[in-house]
Amino acid sequence: MLAHTLFRFFAALSVAVITSASPSVLKLRQSIAPPRNWIDLGRAPSTHVIPLRIALPQHRFLELEQHLVEISDPFHERYGDHLSKEEVEALIAPHATSVDAVHEWLTGHGIQQESCDRSSAAIGSLCMYPLHRRKICLARWNRILTFEFRLWKHTQDGDVLIRTTEYSLPAHLDDHVELIQPTTAFHRAKGQRTSLHFSPTPAAALSPSSDAMITVPGSGVTVNATCNATITVSCLKQLYNADRYIPRATTKNTIGITGYLEQFANFEDLQKFYADQVPNAVNTSFDVALTNGGCYPPPPFLFEMIITGLWNFYEGGLNSQNISQAGEEADLDVQFGFGISSPTPGRYFSTGGRPQFTPDANTPTDTNEPYSNWLDFILAQKNIPQTISTSYGDDEQTVPKDLARRVCNGFAALGARGTSLLFSSGDGGVGDGNADPASQTCFTNDGKNQTKFLPGFPASCPYVTAVGGTVHIPEVAVNFSGGGFSNYFPRPDWQHRAVTKYLKSLPKGTYAGLFNHNGRAIPDVSAQAVNFRIFFRGHPAHVSGTSASSPSFAAFVALLNDARIAEGKSSLGFLNPLIYKLEGEGFNDITTGNAPGCGTPGFNATTGWDPVTGWGTPNFEKLKEIVLDC
């Protein structure tokens, strides 16, 4: 602590010196309490290099938001009239005066423009990534921002981050800098997954083969009885009334899956999955897009299949991520997302880096949170998938509010360009994402340690569609389906009617003080989430979680986009205004079940929208008729 005190003293002294030569004084820009479950390990190595993102204000974002509302409203004359890449960039580009002010400030500290990478104007920010040829170490950032980067360790899983709890900026930059991260961001993306277990049963024995069928009340569809034990592509197509649909716009429509934390979807696993569940897709694959240093092992197709062993040996000597390595999250997302929507082309986004730091590594690296990096990349592309699913998230409170809003704005920009974004709602009910209710803490992260329900992010962003989970046939809410109300984002207008109705149905005083009655509510929709049969590292396995729900629902959205595009219509884009205007039409209403957490039963599923399953699960044929009429 003495070292920390001395540092603060000399930092204050340096502020005084800088101030005397600067046009304005330094101003504390952000200060947070040390987050719960993080302990201070001491000062971070001064020679360590960390990339910082300096985001500039998007002064015309409200205009973009208005465009998004109009083109996403099925009753508006502009419905489906999505914006171009150039139109979006023009709306959220920073002012030139802000760019100049920040460059002048950094130049004054010896950081020249060529030392930094400026991101595309697509996200309207200035991203300061130290280039390899001109590395900027922590010691310099400590002096510039008058804080101290320190090592923080998570007491539960041992992850270590380099972060600070406060930073300052010259007061004259108040109107020119929106945020600088990663500084106070302690969140870590994690796959929304509850369980993975291998089955010793032979593959053929687990495939749907029973002659017994279940008729689903309400929808009238029939489903193979084995689907109550094992979920397959065939099960979901039967259950959600899409087993007769054949895609027609496969040259114009694409579905995307995002991957983080060195998760790779294994090509060999995918072929075994296709042979097991989607025979017509055998020997087909998907494109891989790499960003932020992401990498990917090559597929063993054609002649490469003959020399797989040699390739693995060669690749293993150069890159630890060889063909034999697979991630269960990535395998799940790709196999069901691409399997259901086949033969719609698929694209997997491999975003490099993970938000943790190992101080004893020979060449330690600390990275930004993943979503901003991915948004930098995807918004800079001319052609992007019409549907994208993400099965990663974290507790909303672990993400600084300004960063969460900034990332959310990026999702809005994607929606304006005609992309539907779907995110898993989480696997902790109303709790902290821990699938075991007994292990949930449910305390606020602001130093007050108050008991609160903990919504997840990015699911809580109003510009994405959050997907909860169901189980069994007929369906009920699964007990881990993430749901609740955002503490960062207010409830949007398109959601007000449905959510208000639900809240009025709750007994007065229910969970008083535990959630924000005025917050954006999640989830919006849901899908099956338990006992999905995948292939992982060459063997059949079962996996559960809203990680399964999101890519599955996204695949049906991709098929809806296929139907529209085949008829010469635009893609659906931002889904939520349409979903809520339908008021349940085209969905299977889930009225039974609840998702406990934080020592409570949590919210309950009920008629209409609810914060466990949203509007329910899709009835594809009904939704297809609706979207073709829009």
73 is in an annotated binding site: no
The crossing angle, in degrees rounded to 10, of helices 267-277 and 328-341 is 40
- Between CA 489 and CA 460 the distance in angstroms is 7
610 is in an annotated binding site: yes
Question: Which among 287, 254, 334 has a CA at the least distance from the CA of 551?
Answer: 334
Residue with tokens 């030569």: 21
- Between CA 117 and CA 125 the distance in angstroms is 11
Residue with tokens 């010259």: 170
Q: Which residues are catalytic?
A: 329, 333, 547
- For the chain, give percent helix, strand, coil, nearest 5: 35, 20, 45
For 475-491, b where at least 16 C-beta lie within 10 A, e where not — what string? bbbbbbbbbbbbbbbeb
599 is in an annotated binding site: no
Question: Which among 543, 401, 374, 508 has a CA at the least distance from the CA of 461?
Answer: 401
Number of other residues whose CB lies within 10 A of the CB of residue 6: 10
- Strand stretches in 236-334, DSSP E: 255-259, 287-291
At residue 272, what is the residue type?
K
418 is in an annotated binding site: no
The residues, any chain, with a CB within 8 Å of residue 48's CB and separated by 6 or more, are 137, 138, 149, 162, 364, 366
Look at strands 346-351 and 116-117 and give their pairing. Answer: unpaired
Question: Which among 450, 197, 458, 246 has a CA at the least distance from the CA of 344?
Answer: 246
Q: Is 36 helix (H, G, I), strand (E, B) or coil?
A: coil
Strand partners, 195: 544
| Dihedral sign (CA 572, 578, 579, 585) | negative
At residue 501, what is the residue type?
K
Residue with tokens 């171009």: 84
Question: Which among 129, 168, 172, 221 has a CA at the least distance from the CA of 29?
Answer: 168
Residues that constitute the known binding site: 589-590, 608, 610
Residues that constitute the known binding site for Ca(2+): 589-590, 608, 610
